[in-house]
A and B are shown apart, each in its own frame.
Chain A
Amino acid sequence: MESKQKLEQNKQEQSTSVISKALFIGFFGGVFWSFIGWGASYFSFSSISPASFIIRSWLNQSWTDGWLAEVISIFLIGILSLIVAIAYYLFLRKLRGIWPSALFGLALWGIVFYVLLPVFPNIAEVTELTSDTIVTTVCLFLLYGIFIGYSISYEYLDSVTKKNV
């Protein structure tokens, strides 16, 4: 009986550490990939930069075009990304391999561009975006999804079975 209890205790500890790891993965993933997104928008691969979502959608001042706005938005995306990571951890952490997380990234793109975009008045509808912008953002969301999903499910599986995915 006692040994069983001990095991339970271990399990508890494991899962909390996986959650904290998942949160860190979420933050880092958000910052890293939105930074890449900033780079892509700097070179006009995409007309959407991190700041056009996060800041310019509700603030219309001249400084929001500068780099400071981008840095703040990248940080904010890191925070928002925590929610994404928690969502993945809660619902999808048991899926193996990278394809579920790739689909997760694509779904995330769909939600952001079809559900959230119409809410922001300053960004054009999906149909009005250039094809380059669409491809760039899809690729970024795909890689972001894989980063979040694959890392979290790997951490989870590693903690449960001590075996690799």
Chain B
Amino acid sequence: MKNKPENKPIMTDINDVQTYMEKKVGVGTSFDVGFREIILLKQKVQLYYLTGLCDTAIIVELLKKLTAINDEESNKTELPAIIKNRLVHQQVEKVDKFNDAITQLLSGLIVIFIDGQELAYVVDVRSYPGRSPKEPDTEKVVRGARDGYTENIIENTGLTRRRVRDERLRNEIIQVGQRSKTDICISYIQDIADDGLIKTIKKELKKIDIDGLAMADKTIEEYLVKQGVNPFPLVRYTERPDVAAVHLFEGHVLIMVDTSPSMIITPTTFFHHVQHAEEYRQSPTVGTFIRWIRFVGILASIFLLPFWFILAVEPRLLPEALQFIGPNEVGNIPLIVQLILADVGIEFLRMAAIHTPTPLSTAMGLIAAVLIGQIAIDVGLFSAEVILYVAISAIGSFATPSYELSVANKISRVFLLIAAAIFGVKGLLISFSLYIILLARTKSLNTPYLWPFLPFNGKALLQILFRFSVPMSKQRPSIVHPKNNYKQS
């Protein structure tokens, strides 16, 4: 892994080239490496390409132009220059090292070797299999742009550029992975983004020495943020170009990885995960309303179950107005076991829904909701209240915009619940404090995770509690340390 293969210059004799290519790239063995030899002015010219990644129409056009040389030209000594002239394409490059040529070949470009020359021409005839931009499933909005990032990094930079026509937008590309040679693009606006952050990210990316990045963005994230056992998402993902552009303008640095439609937004705090593009598609009041309802949902998904549990097992805690809370009859199994079982049941359902084909999922929902829920009460397994509260907290976690955050919250909920079951009120309070402290200690790329709540920043917290109208929010968030604080004058 460590010792890189030597970078040989291209040989003069085309037969040597052919043997080298057969040995090295497996021409003739791998069926997707195409090879074509033509004779131009009595000299051998060889074309190598990948059948899966090239656009046939362009190759045919190039071949037509090349073979016409035999009819129209006669100056043998000028052959390389003639060939270069006849490669009718805007992206033609000359290489003289084998490894460069091979990397290009395996990226889907066509490589042309000429007998007797220590060089090769590389033409960009790539056409990657892929889909067209489509609205991402996880970030739907009622109105607004319906395009989303795809698996193609070039298209993705294009989608960003459509929204940021600033000459100061930088898309720096680097290749990571000895075998996969995955393209990674770091995007930022030069005179806004924090240099220190860009430097840190580049440093971390350059340190990666791995054979392949098959899981693209996720692998990169794990190298960047050093997650450890912390379940909380330390970067925010988006598949929406408009969300990405907003963050670029705010001074965030985006990382896009080829073969993944998810952009990584850095730096991220907890509160980046509770926002959604939909809030900015509605009037500020409606946006704020949506946001508050969502906050209630998220809080319910963490604290409702443990809190209800403690009130149910210790009715002395209840104030008079709330005496009706808590199960009326003692069930057949302990309350904590009921809660954990019901929660696990919902988790079954959620996990199954991810990979169940749509026709089956209707049947699955029916069985789960109607049959299990009601029957579990009828046979005396669960009490009705358990089902109610577990369902509310499950819906709360579905209302969390970030899928990663909702799962992390679910884990914290189970911990709070178990602590409350073992140590009662004290367990609940101590685990609650630990929850806050652990979140406050977490840092993502040197950014405190609970900012702007802890460390407290009043202005920024207001921006999170209320969705302000765009003309009113003039400053960029201070947490990204922008070089230029004002979005508008």
Contacts and interface: CB of A to CB of B under 8 A. Distances in A.
Contact of B458 (A28, A139, A158, A164): A28
- Interface footprint category on A: 20 to 34
Contact of A136 (B425, B441, B443): B425
A165 interface: yes
B446 A44 contact: no
A118 B172 CA distance: 65
Interface string B294-320: 000000000000000001000011110
- The interface residues of chain A, by DSSP majority, are classed as helix
Nearest to B316: A44
B448 A43 contact: no
A105 B143 CA distance: 48
Interface in B104-141: none
A155 B316 contact: no
B338 to A, nearest CB: 22
Contacts of B446: 164
Contacts of B456: 25, 28-29, 147, 151
B422 to A, nearest CB: 14
Could you say which of A40, A43, A132, A162 has the most chain B C-beta atoms within 10 Å of its C-beta?
A: A43
Contact of A151 (B196, B319, B437, B454): B454
Nearest to A36: B432
B429 A98 contact: no
A144 to B, nearest CB: 11
Given A147-B454, A151-B455, A135 B317 contact: no
B458 A131 contact: no
A108 to B, nearest CB: 15
B317 A45 contact: yes
A165 to B, nearest CB: 7
A128 B358 CA distance: 62
Rank and list the top 6 A-B pairs by shortest CB-CB distance, nearest first: A154-B455, A151-B456, A151-B455, A135-B426, A139-B433, A164-B446
Given A151-B456, A164-B447, 16 more contacts: A21-B458, A25-B456, A40-B429, A44-B316, A132-B426, A139-B429, A139-B430, A142-B437, A143-B433, A143-B436, A146-B454, A150-B454, A154-B455, A158-B478, A162-B481, A165-B448
